[in-house]
Amino acid sequence: MNHTTKEQIKSIPFWRNLNPHLTISSDPLTTAPLQIIDDALLSNVSGSLWQDGYLNCQSIFTEQDILPLRQAMERLHSHNLPKAFIYLYDEAWELFFRLRTLLQNFLGENYSVLPHFWAWYIDPGKAKGWPPHRDSADQSVIELYGQEMLVSLSLWIPLTDATPENGCMSVLPLSCEQDYEAPVTDPSEIALQDILCLPAQAGSVLGWRQDLYHWGGRSHRNAQTPRLSLSLEFQNAALDPLCEPLLDPQHPPDPEERLNLIFQQFEKYKHIADLPKGF
């Protein structure tokens, strides 16, 4: 943990002082601006999600939108602190809340936030993303009244350009996996020609249904920049909770609850996350 003490880790004032350009409060996000996503893009990504299991919205956020969070992630990195602590700050929650048009399009007017999130800092040539996995083994789509309904969705936002060289996301498209005799349970079962690499500019929004097989790449020695990214998961609030507590997108947890949730992520993802010694 570098020179950061356990007492500091548990102190909200410490986190406020670490990144004074961000805020930590209990205020609702009702004043957060709505990110405009036009009908043409919604139609395009809807087709991609239903056919192949993923969506790709390039350059949704501006540099001004993501710069404060990227600076905070750099600050966490310089102190050798897990990047998931970015979720102590209002601005991380607000970024995803601004995507409510996109989320409501797939999960209905009332959607909830699952208590699952993470943040990555992939050093150039030194680290890699998470290995191939599905975010949930549960059914991600159900049929209701003859129509398919999405149960849950993961969103992923790169704060720097995500390239094949620095470990961008890759997926096994749903349309490809449907041709397999059985669902993939091991990466060795994937035909290499079926892998789809998803480069993304900083401020883009990627997403996938939670039963889609996906992974982060390894940063190559020729990578010019680190790969910084955030993820948060969501579900249709009309359905039974996939995990509790479900969170209100307009009212993120209060600061102490956020701190507790972050430590829960450490426990949940310790088998795949590269955590600093002491965590």
Per-residue pLDDT at 143: 85
Per-residue pLDDT at 164: 97
Q: How confident is the model at residue 81 (pLDDT cuts 50, 70, 90)?
A: very high
Does residue 143 or residue 94 have the better pLDDT? Answer: 94
Tokens coding 132: 């191939």
Rounded to whole angstroms, how far apart are CA atoms 259 and 261? 5
Q: How many CB atoms lie within 10 A of CB 186?
A: 7
Q: How many CB atoms lie within 10 A of CB 250?
A: 13
Q: How confident is the model at residue 145 (pLDDT cuts 50, 70, 90)?
A: confident
Per-residue pLDDT at 2: 61
The CB-side HSE value for 200 (13 A sphere, CA atoms) comes to 32
Q: How confident is the model at residue 265 (pLDDT cuts 50, 70, 90)?
A: very high
Per-residue pLDDT at 138: 85
137, pLDDT greater than 90: no
Strand partners, 118: 231
pLDDT tens for residues 209-250? Answer: 999 999 999 999 999 999 999 999 999 999 999 999 999 999
Q: How confident is the model at residue 139 (pLDDT cuts 50, 70, 90)?
A: confident
Per-residue pLDDT at 1: 54
Please enumerate in sequence order all residues whose Cβ is within 8 A of that of 52, keeping only pairs 6 or more positions apart, or say none. 171, 173, 174, 175, 176, 196
20, pLDDT greater than 90: yes
Q: What is the pTM of this model?
A: 0.96
